[in-house]
Homo-oligomer: A and B are copies of this chain.
Amino acid sequence: MQYFDSDYMEGAHPLILERLVKTNMEKTSGYGTDAYCESAKKKIRKACGCPEAEIHFMVGGTQTNATVITAMLRPYEGVIAAATGHINVHEAGAVEAGGHKVLALPSHEGKLDAAEADRYIADFYSDASWDHMVAPGMVYISHPTEYGTLYRLDELEALSSVCRKHHIPLFLDGARLGYGLAAHGTDVTLEAIASLCDIFYIGGTKVGALFGEAVVIPRPGFVKQFNTIIKQRGVLLAKGRLLGLQFDTLFTDGLYLKIARHGIEMADRIAACLEKKGYRFYAVPQSNQLFVVLENSRLSALSGHVSFGIWEKADADHTVVRIATSWATREEDVEELLSLL
Contact = CB atoms under 8 A, between A and B. Distances in A.
B8 A238 contact: yes
A239 B11 contact: yes
Interface stretch (A84-92, A177-185, A287-295): A84-92
Interface string A26-37: 111111000000
A133 B90 contact: yes
Interface string A223-246: 011011101111111110010000
Contacts of A228: 76, 92, 131-133, 135
- Chain A interface size, under 10 / 10 to 19 / 20 to 34 / 35 or more: 35 or more
Q: Tell me the dominant secondary structure on chain A's binding face.
A: loop
B30 A225 contact: no
A210 to B, nearest CB: 6
Interface stretch (A122-130, A193-201, A277-285): A122-130
A113 interface: no
Contacts of A51: none
Nearest to A123: B313
Given A3-B27, A328-B25, A92 B231 contact: yes
Q: Which 7 A-B pairs have the closest CB atoms?
A: A63-B234, A11-B24, A92-B232, A76-B228, A93-B134, A9-B27, A92-B231
